[in-house]
Amino acid sequence: MRLRADGLAAERGGRAVFADLSFVAEPGTLLRITGANGAGKTTLLRILAGLGAAAAGSTTWQRDGIDISAADAACFVGHANAFNEALTVRENLVYAANLSGLDASSQSIESALTALGVKSLVNRRFGSLSQGQRKRSSLARLLLDTQRGRRAWLLDEPFVALDVDTQTQLAAIISAELAAGGLVIYTSHQAVDIAAARVQEVSL
């Protein structure tokens, strides 16, 4: 997956948040977005994911040299878990898979949850889980596409609400995705060691 951003700008309430932002991220890149609170980190991620509109500029996603839509290119996991509290973890993941055009089998769901240490929660109602359990269950949507590196991961504060052991586990999952040629773009206020052949930073 390859991403090119040209002259991106964003506004909030008629006020400029950032402007004239350009960068290129190649397959296998770990791209960290940094900046003070309110600098527009989440706004930028949402623009890249196609969930928000830029005030100016453009983004181009490419897979194997072919332009594709943001919806086909990226999987976004925001700071909020964005799961329905009345549904089970399995039902939420099936819904997330359907939105991404994936056919989530019981095996793929359980495999994703196992990777994050929460397989036992598969039939639990999401609203009954602790914050850490919710975060890990939500992050499992990243692993529903069994073809590693096919979609970029856009992660907004992915390590929040996770204990140290789970942060290390998630870092290993991200490292494996990068090694498979994936592209991971994230924001984080926490220093977590992620293995990456190519590291970039965009400062807002």
Name the 3-class secondary structure at 87: coil
Q: How large is the C-alpha radius of gyration of the chain?
A: 16
Backbone angles phi, psi at 65, to 5 degrees: 80, 5
Domains in the chain and their CATH numbers? 2-203 (3.40.50.300)
From the first residue on, what is the mean pLDDT of each consecutive set of 10 residues in the chain (204 residues)? 98 94 98 96 97 97 96 93 96 94 89 96 98 96 93 97 95 98 95 95 96
Q: Alpha-carbon distance 118 to 173, whole Å?
A: 14
pLDDT at 190: 87
Residue of 132, 89, 87 lying closest to 110 (CA atoms)? 89
pLDDT at 6: 98
pLDDT at 146: 86
pLDDT at 30: 98
Residue listed under structure tokens 């609203």:
127
Cβ(151)–Cβ(74) under 8 Å? yes
The predicted model scores a pTM of: 0.95
Q: In sequence order, which residues have a C-beta less than 8 Å from that of residue 172 and are 6 or more positions away?
A: none
